[in-house]
Amino acid sequence: MSVAYRPSHADATYDMKYGIRAVAGGGRSSARETIGRVAAGAVAKKLLHLIAGVEVIAYVSRVRDVSCDVDNSTFTLEQVEANDVRCPDAEAAKAMYKAIDEVRLRGDSCGGDVTCVIRSCPKGLGSPVFDKLEAELCKAFMSLPASKGVEIGSGFTGSAMLGSEHNDEFYMDAGEVRTRTNRSGGIQGGLSNGEAIVARIAFKPTSTISRKQHTVSRSGDEVELIARGRHDPCVVPRAVPMVEAMAALVIADQLLQHYAQCELLPRDGACSPDTSIARQFRQHLESSVAAAVTA
């Protein structure tokens, strides 16, 4: 590993750009880099919960070809943390565990998906053009090591649907505008709509494996490489807190911006109709804060 580039690993591109690389452990390309994000995310999660009752929670929704059956509205953190693969479907978790173990014994690795749910997100977070809420979230998720894809709501499944199948119809629920389905994944036109925000992130299999691979050396010779050392056969369970952290940081940042932009200036009759919707949002926020202060 000190002379040859690991296939699909960052050490080759780092060397191309900087002329240096961290051979042992990967340096900045190691997922250990995310420890600071997870620490900051913990603060953001607490703040979001205190201020606005937001809950950010993620789980492993697929390992290799093993999927699961989870209700995004009801699963709990306890269920996620009840097993090592962080999948709230206990049966699927066992199958995932077995799939990882099988791959590990062969010196190979496998990938999988993480699903992230943001519950009770205030309405209106985000902005309409370049910095859409889904754009900010996707950038944050795709900045995580090994991520190769992101979906918001229906994602690639949704792009195969008809408009009449895909649209989320509105209805009134205790004076509040809600949608009956949530194919939008809680975001419409760059702004949160108050439904749960749902995202799915694809993580590729770990690039460092203990099987023989063809590669080239720094000096430009074609060589064979068998990596040694301790390498995760599957990073996906460890990606769960990273995904939660990035989601919480984005939402906290958007909440601050939204508060400054939309809540500082009192709306008068001229510039805002102050519809029941706008009033409800304000009441929702106020009661959350009041409850937080009391608690």
Cβ nearer to a copy of itself, comparing 65 with 69: 65
- As given in the structure block, the two tokens for residue 201 are 């992130």
Assess 261 for contact with a copy of itself (CB under 8 A): yes
Query: Which among 53, 175, 59 has a CA at the least distance from the CA of 120?
Result: 53
Name which of residues 47 to 66 contact a copy of itself (CB under 8 A).
47, 50-51, 62, 64-65
Residue ranges in 168-187 that form contacts with a copy of itself under rule CB under 8 A: 168-172, 175, 177, 179-180, 183-185, 187
Of 132, 137, 131, the closest CA to residue 58 belongs to 137
Does residue 72 bind a copy of itself (CB under 8 A)? Answer: no
Judged by CB under 8 A, how many residues of this single chain contact a copy of itself?
132
- The answer to whether residue 250 forms part of the interface with a copy of itself (CB under 8 A) is no
Residue 39 contacts a copy of itself per CB under 8 A: no
Q: Interior CA angle at 262 toward 135 and 47, to 5°?
A: 70
Q: Does 245 bind a copy of itself (CB under 8 A)?
A: no
One-letter amino acid at 52 equals A
Locate 161 and state its tokens. Answer: 């649907």
Per CB under 8 A, the list member of 31, 166, 238, 241 interacting with a copy of itself is: 166
Residue type at position 181 = T
Q: Which of 1, 38, 42, 142 binds a copy of itself (CB under 8 A)?
A: 142
C-alpha separations of 134 from 167, 187, 188, 213, 272 in Å: 17, 7, 9, 38, 26
189 belongs to the binding site for a copy of itself (CB under 8 A): yes
Place of tokens 């926020």: 285
218 part of the interface to a copy of itself, by CB under 8 A: yes
Query: What are the two backbone dihedrals, phi and then psi, of residue 198, each rounded to the nearest 5 degrees?
Result: -125, 125
* Segment contacting a copy of itself by CB under 8 A, of 68-76, 82-90, 200-208: 200-208
Torsion of CA 66, 72, 76, 78, to 10 degrees: 10
- For a copy of itself, the binding residue among 24, 78, 219, 228 (CB under 8 A) is 219
- Whichever of 98 and 139 has its CB closer to a copy of itself, that residue is 139
Is residue 205 at the binding interface for a copy of itself, with CB under 8 A as the rule? yes
Residue 2 as a binder of a copy of itself (CB under 8 A): the answer is no
Q: How many CB atoms lie within 10 A of CB 173?
A: 10
Q: Min. distance of Cβ 91 from a copy of itself in angstroms?
A: 19
Three-state SS for 225?
Answer: strand
Cα dihedral 71→148→165→186 (10° resolution): 60
Nearer to a copy of itself, 55 or 263 (CB): 263
Q: Does 244 bind a copy of itself (CB under 8 A)?
A: no
Cα four-point dihedral sign 141, 142, 148, 154: positive
Cβ distance to a copy of itself smaller for residue 82 or 128: 128
Candidate segments 68-76, 81-89, 90-98, 125-133, binder of a copy of itself by CB under 8 A: 125-133
Radius of gyration of the chain (CA): 22
Q: Which of 203, 237, 240, 242 binds a copy of itself (CB under 8 A)?
A: 203
Tell me if 17 contacts a copy of itself by CB under 8 A: yes
What is the amino acid identity at position 19?
G
